[in-house]
Structure 1
Amino acid sequence: MNAFPRYVPGGLAFVDIETTGGPAQCESITEIGILQVDEDGMREWSTLVRPESRIPEYIQRLTGIDDAMVADAPRFADIAGEVFDRLDGRLFVAHNARFDHGHLRAAFRRAGLDMRPQVLCTVKLSRRLFPEHRHHGLDHLVERHGLMVADRHRALGDAQLLWQFWQKIHERFPPGYLEAMVRELIGRPSLPPHLDPEQIAGLPETPGVYLFYGERGGETDGELPLYIGKSTRLRSRVLSHFAADHQSDRELSLSQQVRHIEWIETAGEIGALLEEARLVKRLQPTHNRQLRRNRELCTWRLATDIVGDWRLELVHAADLDFGRRDDLYGFFRTRREATNRLRALARDHALCPPLLGLEKKPQGARCFGFQLKRCRGACHGGESPQAHALRLIEALHTLKVEHWTWPGPIGLREGEALHVIDGWRWLGTATDEAMLANILESGRPTFDLDIYKILIKAVKRLPILML
């Protein structure tokens, strides 16, 4: 049996690294193991590497590598040239190769080197060769193929396991079959190791929303998604996540977790934006940083008191019919954000903080802002209440909430779909008369700031139909 493939003229490099658990964009590698195989035979090499941060205790327990062991080890920059030479021109073989390749390529970039090897992931190879099995982690391969464990969770020890796996499959499968399989895998677009390629094959190049799921496989199994995104070209956008994982720690983490993809096609970009906002609010995926639900949304309302003087009061979205009022200014995620914005307006426009309710006015005295020449004296009669009110309205102008000018719900036409909105709320999207009737009878949802922002732009771009 000859486990060295002639179709890889430069030879093989079975690679494994250990890290602190930190991101690829930091110096987090603690050990590198490389097992080289070519026509001259097999050679092993490994080294500890000194990272830039301490090794967490749980990583120390897993790998057996502690801070004392790496205290005198070289930095990656000191050995970058040697590591590069051992990998250069060889097929880079690793288990969950995105992780090892991503960390090493980032480390090479910091050292001024550019490593672009062909990469073969043994997780993907195992999935293709043994589709009847669900799990393809290294421990599963050890048990399934009877691999001999010398030093698990150490770089060279795990690289040796990959070499054993390579030899085992060459004993079981004909060389021509393996060659075709390897060529296909290294020539394919890079995909997460646990993702079935058929999932990508089914993705359309149309507008819509995509959902990444983890271990259990989808919403129908009761699992919440890892990430929800939108695009006018679903397939290209999904593939872009996986093509960039060595540049983004977030993408790298996501590609290691995703097992299943679901998608919803929409009529266009507006539909995709609306559906994404709705799903993120409802499902709360762990990797989405924006479009999160906000229960404290508030705004400033400009009203008059019993004697006719203008005053501001902070009101919450849940207490108002947003969109149908013409006296609201600004949207704020928290009371603190609203107060800070009003303080900035007072400072920039020389408004009186006590009259805005931002601070108490000393009895019979001028406010502190006037003493600092930041107030024109409305607090003690130096400026009339009317003049102060006019300047306040002018200062608030840039925060004015868009008023809903239609008498009832309207439809925004996008392709064959009709987005139904009322009072800057998205009621739903209809593609036929029956759906439209159901949407109009279903009532209005609560006000959502992200939906509002989408709709403000949408009414300027899409044809409007009165309903």
Structure 2
Amino acid sequence: MTALAFVDLETTGATATSDRITEIGIVEVDADGTVREWQQLVNPGTHISPFIENLTGISNAMVATAPPFAEVAEDVLRRLKGRLFIAHNARFDYGFLKNEFKRSGIEFRAPVLCTVKLSRALYPEFKRHSLDSLIERHGLIANGRHRALADAQLIHQFWQRIHAERSGEEIDAALRKLNTYPSLPPHLDPAIIDELPETPGVYLFYGEASEHGELPLYIGKGKNIRNRVLSHFSADHRSAREMTLAQQTRRIDWIETAGEIGALLREAELVKTRQPTQNRQLRRNEDVCTWTLIDAGDGWLKPELRLAADLDFGIGNACYGLFKSPREATQTLRKLVDAHQLCDILSGLDRQVGNKPCFGHQTRRCKGGCVGKEPLAKHSMRLMGAMVTLKLASWPFPGPAIIREGDEAHLIDGWRYLGSARSDNELHALLELKRPPFDRDIYKILSKQIALMKALPGR
């Protein structure tokens, strides 16, 4: 059995970042079933409104001599550490405690279970899932309402009642669905649940070390690292791939970023440099190629296939499409030539033998540019019109640029990601590094963000 903490708070209002806690109630249940109860009034350091006084019964006079949260923070942390945090509308209680701990200089994390969501999952036939509704529906005994310990006791009673009414399999299935009670891989320390941050970033799964050192099995990213990591393990019974990954995982590491852009960039970079065995996307793409148009004289613009790595991509070059292979590039161009009645020879898909027309002209698809019936300049204009849908964005800045995200600055140059910095010194150090080769995945990430980012010259 997992150690549990049933928690309820009374507060001065509903906003965790500005309102404060006035009372804490915790029912601790150890793995062996031992139960302890604790209640503490807290001086919020601010005025309690008459409405809140009337609702909770906690007056300004009652909390005047109570300790501030900072004085009880270590005691509260000791009672919650290593336990599943269970509360009714848990986001409210967890958010308030997390903010109070942060004000005290303590980073608090815990696996969280909301009994509102659990009630909805187990009893979908009912519309109401408030604490008063649970009292009436399940015959819970209320020793008081809107006082912290009394409400925490009610949540504990609900937990006991569902275990009497439902099978363990039903409850476990509901918990896995809520992603709060995951089945961790057997070789992972359960304490990792408490350590995983609820911030954007990149996470790395490692297997057993080999003679080549410790190599990652899988690298992923998420807006919430904790939720994303646990989702892999809650899904291992549905996917053979996830099950294999869970069985092989021995250690988890992570890198926190300021936001989603940083997570996307770091993931794309790390997958290529670390080459995890289980990643199917974002792998190296040295063979990525693109179409350019070269001036063959007399108004003839001819497509030429170039490796993106050979170009100063996006700077001074008009490029059309990013393709995994020459075959994919040729197939795409062929479809455009057929759809727009272009010439196979002038489009570079066929060679002219003597003065013979291309095959397309023989089948009345080509308008005769290969035999002088259509001016070369006109064919070139139609070709550019056909290829416009493939045209890639040109780098819009005269030099390197910065994407600011929170306290991070992502340094970009010619669609290439140079790295992220949190200080001017780190930023200048990145500018001294050799510019990496063009990467298709980085381009795709940045091209989607470029219209929204606030970019400044990097030097």
Given residue 279 of structure 1, which amino acid in structure 2 is its aligned partner? L
How far did residue 356 of structure 1 move?
1.4
Question: Structure 2 counterpart of 1:194, which letter?
Answer: H
SS at match of 2:342: coil
Residues 246-261 of structure 1: matches in 2 within 5 Å?
A: 246-261=237-252
Contact persistence 1:225–1:285 (CA under 8 A): yes
State which of 410, 414, 418 in structure 2 corresponds to 1:419: 410
Question: Residues 115-130 of structure 1: matches in 2 within 5 Å?
Answer: 116=169
Q: Structure 1: how far apart are the matches of 2:213 and 2:438?
A: 27
Matched, 1:211 2:204: yes
Partners of 1:355 and 1:417 lie apart in 2 by 49
Q: Please tell me the root mean square deviation across aligned C-alpha atoms, in Å.
A: 2.3
In structure 1, C-alpha distance between the alignment counterparts of 2:251 and 2:229, rounded to whole Å: 12
Letter aligned with residue 453 of structure 1:
K
Deviation for aligned residue 1:330 = 1.0
CA distance in 1, matches of 2:302, 2:294: 6
Equivalent position of 1:429 in the other structure: 420
Q: Where do 1:103-122 residues align within 5 Å?
A: 116=169
2:189 maps to what in 1?
A: 196
Q: Please give the alpha-carbon distance, in whole angstroms, between the structure 1 residues aligned to 2:340 and 2:425.
A: 53
The residue identity in structure 1 corresponding to 2:438 is: F
What runs of 5+ residues in structure 2 fail to find an aligned partner? Answer: 1-31, 33-167, 174-179
Could you say which residue in structure 1 is the equivalent of 2:448?
457
SS at the partner of 2:388?
Answer: helix
Picking from 326, 330, 340, the partner of 2:331 is: 340
Contact 2:298 2:377 (8 Å CA) reproduced: no
Once the two structures are overlaid, the 10-residue window that deviates more, 259-268 or 292-301, is 292-301
Question: In 1, are the aligned partners of 2:205 and 2:249 still within 8 Å (CA)?
Answer: yes
The yes-or-no answer on 1:407 pairing with 2:404 is no
Q: Is the 8 A contact 1:203 1:235 kept in 2?
A: yes
Provide the secondary structure at the position in 1 that maps to 2:321. Answer: strand
Cα pair 1:300 1:329 within 8 Å, conserved = yes
Superposed CA offset, 1:374-419 (max 9, x none) = 2111111221111111000001101112111211111111000011
Contact preservation (8 Å) 1:195, 1:260: yes
Given residue 209 of structure 2, which amino acid in structure 1 is its aligned partner? R
Tell me, yes or no, if structure 1 residue 268 matches structure 2 residue 269.
Answer: no
Tell me the CA shift for residue 326 of structure 1. 3.5
How far apart are the structure 2 equivalents of 1:458 and 1:118? 42
Structure 1 length-normalised TM: 0.58
Q: C-alpha separation between the residues in 1 aligned to 2:365 and 2:299?
A: 25
* Cα distance in structure 1, aligned partners of 2:362 and 2:307: 34
Shift of 1:119: 7.5
Name the CA distance, whole Å, in 1 between partners of 2:374 and 2:298.
Answer: 18
> Over residues 171-230 of structure 1, what are the superposed CA-to-partner deviations in whole Å (9 max), with x where a residue is unaligned?
xxxxxxxxxxxxxxxx9421111111122221000000000011139x9x8211110000
SS across alignment from 1:197: coil
Across the two proteins, how many residue pairs are aligned to each other? 287
Q: Does 1:367 align with 2:328?
A: no
Unaligned runs of at least 5 residues, structure 1: 1-6, 8-114, 121-186
Q: Which AA in structure 1 matches 2:398?
A: P
Aligned to 1:238: 229
**In the alignment, structure 1 residue 289 sits paired with structure 2 residue 289:** no
Q: Which amino acid aligns with 1:352?
A: C
Paired residue for 2:117? none
User: Any conservation in 2 of the 1:426–1:451 contact (CA below 8 Å)?
Assistant: yes
Q: Is the 8 A contact 1:231 1:237 kept in 2?
A: yes
- Provide the C-alpha distance between the structure 2 equivalents of 1:208 and 1:297, rounded to a whole number of angstroms: 27
Q: Once the two structures are superposed, what CA deviation does each residue of 1:16-73 show, in whole Å capped at 9, x if it has no partner?
A: xxxxxxxxxxxxxxxxxxxxxxxxxxxxxxxxxxxxxxxxxxxxxxxxxxxxxxxxxx
For 1:460 and 1:247, the matched residues in 2 are separated by 39
Q: Structure 1 residue 268: deviation in Å?
A: 0.2
**Are 1:205 and 1:234, in contact at CA under 8 Å, matched by a contact in 2?**
yes
Please give the alpha-carbon distance, in whole angstroms, between the structure 1 residues aligned to 2:248 and 2:316.
46
Q: CA deviation at 1:116?
A: 4.2
SS of the residue corresponding to residue 288 of structure 1 reads coil
Measured after TM superposition, the shift of residue 260 of structure 1 is 0.5
CA-CA distance at 1:245 after TM superposition: 1.2
Aligned to 1:179: none
Q: For 1:287-318, what per-residue CA distance to the aligned partner results, in whole angstroms no more than 9, with x for missing partners?
A: 11000001211111101024442111111122
1:253-305 per-residue CA deviation (whole Å, 9 max, x = no partner) reads: 11111111000000000000000000000011111100000121111110102
In 1, Cα distance between the equivalents of 2:387 and 2:238?
A: 42
Give the Cα–Cα distance (whole angstroms) in 1 for the partners of residues 455 and 194 of structure 2: 36
1:277 paired residue among 268, 282, 287? 268
1:303 and 1:327 in contact (8 A); partners too: no
Counterpart pick for 1:331 among 322, 325, 328 = 322
**Cα distance in 1 for residues equivalent to 2:440 and 2:229:** 27
1:433, distance to aligned residue in structure 2 (A): 0.9
* CA distance, structure 2, for counterparts of residue 383 and residue 306 of structure 1: 15
Equivalent-residue separation in structure 2 for 1:189 and 1:406 (angstroms):
47
Q: Residue 416 of structure 1 aligns to which amino acid in structure 2?
A: D
